Amino acid sequence: MTGPPGRELRGLGDGDVRRLPDPVLGLRCRDVDPMDLAVFVLAEAMVGLMRSSPACVGVAAPQVGQAWRLFVLDVTGHRKARSQHGLVVLCNPVVIEHAGSEVAREGCLSVPDLTGDVPRATSVVVSGTEPGTGQTRVLEADAFEARALQHEIDHLAGLLFLDRVRAPAGVHTRTRYAGPTLAADPAGWRGARVVER
């Protein structure tokens, strides 16, 4: 996808996921109009991708090639989740409150062969707008859902979880789903990105 998606967009598959070092992953995303049909159509396709990807709880628009402030998330039933707001689809989200701090392991569809020990707030309040309705949604989340929300919002700022890892020892080769690109040189990811800010 290089331009805004149109009505012809039926769904997204694993081959549509942008992976490091794709430059779109390092871009600061632009706000979107939640009432724009293209935003709604992309959100629907992202939900389908999330649901069809094993162990995936969220997808942000840059991960499918759009530098838009849009993400989808659903931690329902995840063993580490306490708060569970069901399917969350938000445009132009912002963290309006955060508290606590904890380091925990994270992974990402866009970095399939690595995980990392990432510090995050343990509770957050996030506000955003739902595509298609224009309704403002405010979520109070903790534990795993708070971590997942912060992870997706980071994507919209051009950040990957690797950007939050404090030391090289905090980057790990994924034991499942390992791929050939970065697993051989986990420290090599830093020089692989083109970032526009």
Q: Where are the domains of the chain?
A: 18-178
If residue 129 lies in a helix (H) or strand (E), which one and from where to where?
strand 123-129
Tokens 């051009």 belong to 158
Of 23-32, 40-49, 132-141, 184-193, the poorest mean pLDDT is in: 184-193
**Could you say which DSSP state residue 96 is in?**
E
**Token pair of 89, please?**
């689809």
Task: Give the pLDDT of residue 11.
Answer: 67
Taking 60 as the threshold, does the pLDDT of residue 177 lie above it? no
H and E: helices and strands count for the chain? 2, 8
Question: Do the beta carbons of residue 145 and residue 82 sit within 8 Å?
Answer: yes
Residues contacting residue 93 through CB under 8 Å, at least 6 positions apart: 69, 71, 126, 127, 128, 149, 152, 153, 156
Distance, in Å, from the CA atom of 10 to the CA atom of 8, rounded to the nearest integer, reads 6
Distance, in Å, from the CA atom of 96 to the CA atom of 137, rounded to the nearest integer, reads 12
Question: Do the beta carbons of residue 157 and residue 197 sit within 8 Å?
Answer: no
Closest listed residue to residue 165, CA positions, set 111, 127, 125, 85: 111
Closest listed residue to residue 145, CA positions, set 88, 96, 191, 195: 88
Distance, in Å, from the CA atom of 156 to the CA atom of 110, rounded to the nearest integer, reads 13
Q: Which architecture characterizes domain 18-178 according to CATH?
A: Alpha-Beta Complex (3.90)
Tell me the pLDDT band of 176, cut-offs 50, 70 and 90: low
Distance, in Å, from the CA atom of 129 to the CA atom of 89, rounded to the nearest integer, reads 8
Task: Give the pLDDT of residue 186.
Answer: 44
Percent of the chain at pLDDT above 90? 79
Task: Give the pLDDT of residue 155.
Answer: 98
Catalytic, out of 44, 106, 145, 152:
152
**Token pair of 174, please?**
């994924």
Taking 60 as the threshold, does the pLDDT of residue 180 lie above it? no
Task: Give the pLDDT of residue 3.
Answer: 41
- Partnered with residue 98 across adjacent β-strands are 124
**Could you say which DSSP state residue 53 is in?**
S
More confident residue, 56 or 3: 56
Catalytic residue list contains 152: yes
What pTM, to 2 d.p., does this model score? Answer: 0.84
Tell me the pLDDT band of 14, cut-offs 50, 70 and 90: low
